[in-house]
A and B are shown apart, each in its own frame.
Chain A
């Protein structure tokens, strides 16, 4: 899933400063799962904003709404009936949701309330960790199911950098060395021959380096 964290309150107050009436819009998908921008977080931020602005002597009307999926134009359409009443839409969805709403309601300022962080999974309650960098050409089958791009600090291929120590990455003792994990898993799977096969320098065109990406499925077009 896509993970996010709410922006610092100071930044949020600053960004809504010019407005008197806003619509705070959450999303029911990833940001709900990582507790950053679901219905509950929308309610919490809405009351913090109302109270804060009241204290500043510049009351702010905040209405709340949470869409099923903000990155889907079909759901973003639900805002059409009400959106005209507001000075701005404040989105608690990831960057994809914010942009879907901004694209649909061109004349209205749409402000992000969360910082979108990474594609990851939940390690345990309250902890999410990066797992995929969306490189567009997955190598997990060759690396024991552990991603060297998302999980190695230097994003290197073909083995560790030389700074790996006792299974930890040289950037911090709290970070596992991805290449140690890869090696351990390949041993466990009896696939160490994969490690000795040198992978060719990656073709980064499939990743973000080749420019903004799109997926076009002719078979899905109506």
Chain B
């Protein structure tokens, strides 16, 4: 079933994020993709996330699609101007990749080529408008297209600041919303309640903690993240810490089923653990 149709169904959706490799050896990437076949409703392919240079999202998404997966392609507004973004949106359609969403992109100086120039010609809101325009057969310059692309558009709640902003994205045509990583279900509940009937499916991100150090780092450096001491202690005192981290993520997914329409699993390089998280989360 196409992702757009799944969004209309009332069931809880499972999504997984898969970073493309830094290079062209696709063996591990494809292998991880194969393990997700039939297990997730869509795979989200980020676009040069954390400003780290790697294989282009469109190519990675195309590889996963050929493996039979539903894919959401992300577009970073940081790296392309409106000409390139629109051209790549058309490319996405031609490649059969109709699920698209934009991110503003993390700061370049946090990435691995800190001297690069940022573009930022369009914001994610303007990207949605551009994609909606293309779907109606017109580009941003007002010119007519030969053949109209079709998109199922999404938006990141973080790019639109808050619930009110996210609703604006829905008005602009977003049919799914990706919320930032949830570590505390109670803290997430009000946002989930506010967006419950907004007309789009709210999908919460679940970031797999890989270590106590990572949890502490996120607490200190990422605004809005509050991983409880109890969770940190639980991971620290576990005999098999990675396995405990997998359990913590799976429990978060379980809890989210009551609150929103889906979960996006983010494993930051530990894509091989995705099946384990899914095993536990879907029990």
> Once bound together, how far apart are the Cα atoms of A184 and B116, in whole Å?
30
Which of A91-99, A123-131, A198-206 sits within the interface? A198-206
Which of B107, B116, B117 is close to A211, meaning CB atoms less than 8 Å apart?
Answer: B107
Among the interface residues B109, B114, B115, which one has the most CB atoms of the partner chain A within 10 A? B115
Q: Is the C-beta of A210 less than 8 angstroms from some C-beta in chain B?
A: yes
Q: Is the C-beta of B108 less than 8 angstroms from some C-beta in chain A?
A: yes
- Chain B residues with CB below 8 A from A209, complex form: 108, 116-118
Q: How many residues of A contact B (CB 8 A)?
A: 9
Interchain nearest-CB distance for B253 vs A (Å): 35
> Once bound together, how far apart are the Cα atoms of A121 and B115, in whole Å?
29
On whether the beta carbons of A202 and B109 are closer than 8 Å, the reply is: no
By beta carbon, the residue of chain B nearest A208 is B118
Interchain nearest-CB distance for B119 vs A (Å): 9
On whether the beta carbons of B116 and A204 are closer than 8 Å, the reply is: yes
Using a CB-CB cutoff of 8 Å, which residues 192-222 of chain A contact chain B? 201-205, 207, 209-211
Interchain nearest-CB distance for A68 vs B (Å): 36
- Chain A residues with CB below 8 A from B114, complex form: 203, 205
Interchain nearest-CB distance for A154 vs B (Å): 12
- Chain A residues with CB below 8 A from B117, complex form: 202, 204, 207, 209
> Once bound together, how far apart are the Cα atoms of A204 and B114, in whole Å?
8
By beta carbon, the residue of chain A nearest B119 is A209
Interface of A is mostly: loop
Interchain nearest-CB distance for A135 vs B (Å): 10
Interchain nearest-CB distance for B80 vs A (Å): 15
Interchain nearest-CB distance for B121 vs A (Å): 13
> Once bound together, how far apart are the Cα atoms of A31 and B109, in whole Å?
35
- Chain B residues with CB below 8 A from A205, complex form: 109, 114-115
Interchain nearest-CB distance for A153 vs B (Å): 15
By beta carbon, the residue of chain A nearest B117 is A204
- Chain A residues with CB below 8 A from B109, complex form: 205, 210-211
> Once bound together, how far apart are the Cα atoms of A211 and B115, in whole Å?
12
- Chain A residues with CB below 8 A from B108, complex form: 204, 209-210
Using a CB-CB cutoff of 8 Å, which residues 22-55 of chain A contact chain B? none
By beta carbon, the residue of chain B nearest A207 is B117
On whether the beta carbons of B115 and A204 are closer than 8 Å, the reply is: yes
On whether the beta carbons of B107 and A203 are closer than 8 Å, the reply is: no
> Once bound together, how far apart are the Cα atoms of A165 and B116, in whole Å?
30
By beta carbon, the residue of chain A nearest B113 is A201
Interchain nearest-CB distance for A19 vs B (Å): 29
What 1/0 mask marks residues of chain B from 82 to 121 whose CB sits below 8 Å from any chain A CB?
Answer: 0000000000000000000000000111000011111000
Interchain nearest-CB distance for A62 vs B (Å): 37
Interchain nearest-CB distance for B111 vs A (Å): 11
- Chain A residues with CB below 8 A from B116, complex form: 204, 209
- Chain A residues with CB below 8 A from B118, complex form: 204, 209
What 1/0 mask marks residues of chain B from 119 to 142 whose CB sits below 8 Å from any chain A CB?
Answer: 000000000000000000000000
By beta carbon, the residue of chain A nearest B108 is A209
Interchain nearest-CB distance for A41 vs B (Å): 33
- Chain A residues with CB below 8 A from B115, complex form: 201-205
- Chain B residues with CB below 8 A from A211, complex form: 107, 109
> Once bound together, how far apart are the Cα atoms of A207 and B116, in whole Å?
11
Interchain nearest-CB distance for B105 vs A (Å): 12
Interchain nearest-CB distance for B36 vs A (Å): 37
- Chain B residues with CB below 8 A from A207, complex form: 117
> Once bound together, how far apart are the Cα atoms of A209 and B114, in whole Å?
10
Among the interface residues A201, A209, A211, which one has the most CB atoms of the partner chain B within 10 A? A209
- Chain B residues with CB below 8 A from A210, complex form: 108-109
> Once bound together, how far apart are the Cα atoms of A211 and B117, in whole Å?
11
- Chain A residues with CB below 8 A from B107, complex form: 211
> Once bound together, how far apart are the Cα atoms of A75 and B118, in whole Å?
35
Interchain nearest-CB distance for B154 vs A (Å): 28
- Chain B residues with CB below 8 A from A201, complex form: 115
By beta carbon, the residue of chain B nearest A201 is B115
By beta carbon, the residue of chain A nearest B115 is A203
Among the interface residues B107, B117, B118, which one has the most CB atoms of the partner chain A within 10 A? B117
A residues apposed to B, CB below 8 Å: 201-205, 207, 209-211
Sample of 9 more A-B contacts, CB < 8 Å, known A207-B117, A210-B108:
A202-B115, A203-B114, A203-B115, A204-B116, A204-B117, A204-B118, A205-B109, A205-B115, A210-B109
B residues apposed to A, CB below 8 Å: 107-109, 114-118
The 5 closest A-B pairs by CB, nearest first: A203-B115, A204-B117, A209-B118, A209-B117, A210-B109
7 pairs, CB–CB < 8 Å, chain A vs chain B: A204-B108, A204-B115, A205-B109, A205-B114, A205-B115, A209-B108, A209-B116
